[in-house]
Structure 1
Amino acid sequence: MIRLGALAVGLLFVVNVLWGAIAPREATSPDMTKELHKHPKHMEWAHNGPGNLGVFGTFDRAQLQRGFQVYKEVCAACHSINRVAFRDLADLGYSEAQIKTISAEYEVAAIDSNGEPTTRKATGADKFPLVYANEAAARAAQNGANPPDLSLMTKARPDGTNYVYSLLTGYSDDVPKGWTKPDSLYYNPYFHSVNIAMPPPLAADGQVTYSDGSPATTDQYAKDVSAFLTWTAEPKLENRKETGMAMILFLIIMTGLGYLSYRKVWADIKKA
């Protein structure tokens, strides 16, 4: 009986395997993510120089200040730049008095004279405080989403500056046919999964008022804040370029001197 039972079980297993191999399968919906996902738009940036060669470009200080304004008035409601210190804003052209005024608008953690936790006004030496105390608090406030810190965002994404600009300007209500979008998400083909939890942060023209007369448009906002976030990720970009150019010039001069030395040393030998 045991052998017959084992044989029956074996036959049943074989039948199931064969049926799985030959049975018609239900049609599955194709994964449209790769098809819908778009690469970032290619834009010209001052810090990349002419033709986006990335060699001679420098940051546009006026654009960086506008980008900081957009971050402060729009993005800072959810996203931190905790790797940036207030005194670093001097690189954007802000004076010491302006930095003191800006930092005083923020509260940072401190310890009072009794050793108890408290808060105080930030100074230039402090870093921009976190928007949320921890990830749990962020998810609780953002319906389960955890807004990332933007300090290094343009370094964390391929073609980061163009990615940020494309993402901010890439929201669309025209959802392709066959694509499923939950009501709590938004369609943006520049986001890796196409559906994104972040609502369009730059909703309309006139959202931020510039004092320098620059166009108050969503496109301009996106350009300015993308440039600013490039600076937060690479604040020493210009110094690195200057060092690189100095080294290239040094190597060219040394190559020339080496060639002249070669001609001088071997001149008599060649004649012989």
Structure 2
Amino acid sequence: MASVGPDVVSARFVRLASSSNLDIGIPPAPANSCQTYPLGAFANADLFAGPVQLLSAGILTLNGPATQLTLSPEPVGSGGLYVAALPSPLAPGTYTVSGSGGAEVGSFGPVNLNVPALLNLTNSLPFGTLVSRQDSLTLTWTGGNPNDVVVIHGRVFSLPSGTTPPYGDLLRFRSHAFICSTTAGTGRFTIPSYVWSTLPAGPLSINVTHMPSADGVARFNAAGLDIGGVFRWINTTAFLDLVLGP
């Protein structure tokens, strides 16, 4: 397992153009199943498709276990993006957010969100681990609420002929990806061999993302919001620099 940087809090309040829609760019996988699909270089999915205007909700205040943060909107294009590093890793407990209100979005909160015991992956997949395309791979974990969502997302990167280690930033290469989903209460998920067999051999990364079900998020309303806001947590464990072999 590897750390991909500090835990962060981020927020966006957006106005969508009539031609825009919500589109994460990743095909959904029904519960307890997997799908594969191609990705281009730097193909990180975005939440929105089409023109988007970022709105200001004034100053946001976040309080929680070992956490007291005040966030101001950072200028991005014609609006603002809220983002800051948490002072310590996300921990179980109750987090509260409030907004002072801004030019486009009114005040709201306090809004309470409960974070459960986070998923603890019990697999050992150190750098360089060889994953066979002929065999299934079972990931196991503890923690989480039984109905929490677990999304397993992996990518095998397509390297140009003659490319040798160290590869540097693998995201600059095209990749073949897979996505699977289940619930935390299962305690495990097996990535079937048919998924690996549809992917080429090469450098592999696997992310296991733990998030609340629809019933586990906190919803709120504020003046200026047509469909309201959602306050939620997401926690990802990354297995990097693996190899998908023959």
Flag whether TM exceeds 0.5 (same fold): no
Q: Considering fraction of residues, name the structure with more helix.
A: 1
Q: Considering fraction of residues, name the structure with more strand.
A: 2
Q: What TM-score results when the alignment is normalised by the length of structure 2? A: 0.21
Q: What TM-score results when the alignment is normalised by the length of structure 1? A: 0.20
